[in-house]
């Protein structure tokens, strides 16, 4: 291929999009493949964006985000966790994904090692790989108490060349949540070895044991080597708005400004105004979405959890389950045939890292009626096509 860097020319689109693209937007499909529900962003948030447009908020602003939004993020963090952070640590990239990308670009050079807790969202591996780093994974284990991985196991997977570690808790796709003691141990290791920890906390409000999952923001000092990535997509139903935030070391502020200038010169201005409204007035939205997801989770566990051909570790957080379908030989083929025969979209496991080809990811953020129908169709498909009975 001409004029494309050879390593980029070799990359493939992730398997979720690979399965979904041919039927994207088809209303006959029950979409359990992407990380979003079917609720449109609430009206008062949309109104706020419209008002900002009418007020002429259409110009360049500070590339690290409006100071009013950065302050609102600081206040939200204080309210949720009781932790006071300096607003200088906060930046607003044009999505959480861009936050991860900028952090990865800041930490890694060609030939470094980057460690990813796996199973993992495929875009993370790509974003690390684009830096030229070698991506190494450390896999969570399935136990009777759910998916587990200790800080010691993560540390043991580090090499002398590890310059960044990616931890997503609550985790897409497994729902694993890293406990506080493990966070402390891992952060201490990163301090000692000057490794940039990228803590992706976009599912922070989707923890079914407490109001929010344990966050690195509660234990990190001002200049610790940790970037906490978050955003508006999941908790406020704003996936299409493309606004994220990061809480980074205070001394990195200028670097975030420079990187932001060369990526997208900051996120969309009128969307930032809507995000202030979401933070200041959207707590009921967050809570009611979470309640819906809690019910979706229970529905999923009741429909898939007791099936003899399906091994399901109940997710502690996020809004996905990652069941193993015993005996399937290709998760991609399974997802494509399920789509063709039952009009249900799921994500194939292989795209979430090695050793996942017997798994699928099911998002349970959809409204409960359609979710229920989708789950019934998955079970029907498994019963009809699948050779688990002979195992
Ligand atoms: C683990 C994880 N990080 C980041 C993102 C990206 O979020 P955003 O829409 O804010 O870019 C997602 C989206 O699904 C995700 O699952």
Q: How far is residue 173's CA from residue 350's CA, in Å, rounded to a whole number?
A: 12
List domains and CATH numbers for the chain: 6-41+284-384 (3.90.1150.10), 59-281 (3.40.640.10)
Using the mean position of ligand 1's atoms as its centre, give its distance from the Cα of residue 133 in Å: 21
pLDDT at 385: 80
244-247 sheet: strands from edge to edge? 90-91, 244-247, 226-231, 196-200, 162-168, 113-118, 134-139
pLDDT at 2: 85
Q: How far is residue 158's CA from residue 179's CA, in Å, rounded to a whole number?
A: 20
| Residue 96 CB–ligand 1 contact under 6 Å | yes
Using the mean position of ligand 1's atoms as its centre, give its distance from the Cα of residue 127 in Å: 12
Threshold 0.95, pTM exceeds:
yes
| Residue 233 CB–ligand 1 contact under 6 Å | yes
| Residue 331 CB–ligand 1 contact under 6 Å | no
Q: Which secondary structure element, helix H or strand E, spans residue 137, and what is its range? A: strand 134-139
Nearest residue (CA) to ligand 1, atom 13: 35
pLDDT at 335: 97
| Residue 121 CB–ligand 1 contact under 6 Å | yes
pLDDT at 1: 72
| Residue 171 CB–ligand 1 contact under 6 Å | no
Q: Which residue has the tokens 């447009």?
A: 53
| Residue 230 CB–ligand 1 contact under 6 Å | no
> Under the phi-then-psi rule, with left for phi > 0, alpha for psi from -120 to 50, and beta for the rest, what region is 232?
alpha
What string of pLDDT tens digits covers the 391 residues of the chain?
A: 789 999 999 998 899 999 999 999 999 999 999 999 999 999 999 999 999 999 999 999 999 999 999 999 999 999 999 999 999 999 999 999 999 999 999 999 999 999 999 999 999 999 999 999 999 999 999 999 999 999 999 999 999 999 999 999 999 999 999 999 999 999 999 999 999 999 999 999 999 999 999 999 999 999 999 999 999 999 999 999 999 999 999 999 999 999 999 999 999 999 999 999 999 999 999 999 999 999 999 999 999 999 999 999 999 999 999 999 988 999 999 999 999 999 999 999 999 999 999 999 999 999 999 999 999 999 999 998 866 555 5
Task: Tell me the HSE value of 361 on the side-chain side, using a 13 A CA sphere.
Answer: 30
| Residue 317 CB–ligand 1 contact under 6 Å | no
| Residue 123 CB–ligand 1 contact under 6 Å | no
Nearest residue (CA) to ligand 1, atom 10: 96
User: Among 207, 276, 290, which residue's Cα sits nearest to residue 48?
Assistant: 276
pLDDT at 224: 97
């Amino acid at each position: 291929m001409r004029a494309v860097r050879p390593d980029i020319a070799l990359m493939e689109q992730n398997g979720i999009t690979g399965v979904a693209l041919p039927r994207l937007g088809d209303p006959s499909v029950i979409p359990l493949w992407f990380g979003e529900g079917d609720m449109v962003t609430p009206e008062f948030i949309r109104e706020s964006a419209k008002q900002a447009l009418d007020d002429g908020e259409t110009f360049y602003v500070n590339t690290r985000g409006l100071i009013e939004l950065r302050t609102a993020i600081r206040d939200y963090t204080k309210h949720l966790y009781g932790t006071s952070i300096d607003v200088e640590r906060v930046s607003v990239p044009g999505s959480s994904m861009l936050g991860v990308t900028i952090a990865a670009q800041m930490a890694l050079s060609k030939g470094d090692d980057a460690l990813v807790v796996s199973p993992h969202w495929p875009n993370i591996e790509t974003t690390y790989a684009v830096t030229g780093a070698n991506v190494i994974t450390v896999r969570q284990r399935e136990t009777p108490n759910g998916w587990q991985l200790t800080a010691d196991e993560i540390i043991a997977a580090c090499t002398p060349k590890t310059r960044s570690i990616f931890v997503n808790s609550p985790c897409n796709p497994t729902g694993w949540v890293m406990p506080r003691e493990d966070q402390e141990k891992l952060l201490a290791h990163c301090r000692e070895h000057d490794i940039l920890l990228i803590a992706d906390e976009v599912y922070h409000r989707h923890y079914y044991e407490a109001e929010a999952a344990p966050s690195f923001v509660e234990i990190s000092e001002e200049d610790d080597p940790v970037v906490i990535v978050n955003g508006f997509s999941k908790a406020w139903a704003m996936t299409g708005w493309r606004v994220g935030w990061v809480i980074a070391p205070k001394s990195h502020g200028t670097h975030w400004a420079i990187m932001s200038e060369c990526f997208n010169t900051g996120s969309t201005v009128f969307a930032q105004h809507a995000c202030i409204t979401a933070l200041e007035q959207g707590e009921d939205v967050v809570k009611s979405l979470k309640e819906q997801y809690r019910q979706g989770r229970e529905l999923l566990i009741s429909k898939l959890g007791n099936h003899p051909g399906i091994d399901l570790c109940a997710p502690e957080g996020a809004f996905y389950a990652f069941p193993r379908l015993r005996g399937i030989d290709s998760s991609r083929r399974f997802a494509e045939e399920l789509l063709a025969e039952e009009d249900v979209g799921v994500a194939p496991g292989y795209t979430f890292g090695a050793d996942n080809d017997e798994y699928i990811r099911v998002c349970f953020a959809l409204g409960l009626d359609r979710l229920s129908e989708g789950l019934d169709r998955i079970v029907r498909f498994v019963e009809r096509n699948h050779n688990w009975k002979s195992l």
